[in-house]
Amino acid sequence: MAVDLRAIEGEYLQDLLDQPQALENTFKSLDRSEELLDLASRLHRRKFQRIVLTGMGSSFHALHPLNLQLIGHGFTAIMVETSELIHYKTRFFDPKTLIVAVSQSGQSVEMLRLAEVNSKRSSVIAVTNTPESPLGKHATASLYTRAGDEFSVSCKTYVTALMALKWLGDLLCERDIRQSRRELKHASGAVAAYLAGWKEHVCRLVERLDCVRHLFLVGRGASLAAVGTGALIVKESDHFHAEGMSSAAFRHGPLEMLSEETLVVVFSGDDRTRNLNHRLLADIQQEGGRAELVGEAAALDCFRLPEHSAAVRPIYEILPIQMITLALAARAGREPGKFAMATKVTTTE
In this model, does residue 266 exceed pLDDT 70?
yes
- pLDDT number for residue 337: 95
The third-level CATH classification (topology) of the domain covering 197-332 is Rossmann fold (3.40.50)
Give the pLDDT mean for 333-345. 90
Mean pLDDT, residues 59-74 taken together? 98
Distance CA 203, CA 4 (A): 9
- Summarize the confidence of residues 18-37 as an average pLDDT: 97
**pLDDT digit string, tens, across residues 189-214:** 999 999 999 999 999 999 999 999 99
pLDDT band per the 50, 70, 90 thresholds, residue 344? confident
H/E stretch holding 81: strand 77-81
pLDDT at 109 over 70: yes
At residue 101, φ and ψ (nearest 5 deg) are -110, 125
Distance in angstroms (rounded) separating the CA atoms of residues 77 and 122: 15
CA dist., res. 153 & res. 176, Å (int): 34
Three-class DSSP labels, 137-192? HHCCEEEECCCCCCCCCCCHHHHHHHHHHHHHHHHHCCCCHHHHHHHHHCHHHHHH
Percent of the chain whose pLDDT exceeds 90: 95
**pLDDT value at residue 203:** 97
Q: Looking at the DSSP assignment, which residues form a beta bridge with residue 68?
A: none
Tell me, what's the pLDDT at 342?
A: 85
Q: What is the mean pLDDT of the chain?
A: 96
- Are 16-188 and 197-332 in the same CATH fold? yes
CATH 1.10.3720.10, domain 16-188, yes or no: no
Q: Which residue has the higher pLDDT, 48 or 4?
A: 48
Judged by average pLDDT, the poorest of 32-41, 133-142, 335-344 is: 335-344
Query: Which residue did the predictor score with more confidence, 1 or 303?
Result: 303
DSSP string of 22-66? HHHHHHHH----HHHHHHHHHHHTT--SEEEEEESTHHHHTTHHH
Give the whole-angstrom CA distance, residue 116 versus residue 36. 22
Query: Is residue 1 very low, low, confident or very high in pLDDT (cuts 50, 70, 90)?
Result: low
| Residue boundaries of the structural domains of the chain | 16-188, 197-332
Asked whether residue 137 carries a pLDDT value surpassing 90, the answer given is yes
221: left (phi over 0), alpha (psi -120 to 50) or beta: left
Average pLDDT for residues 208-233, to the nearest whole number?
98
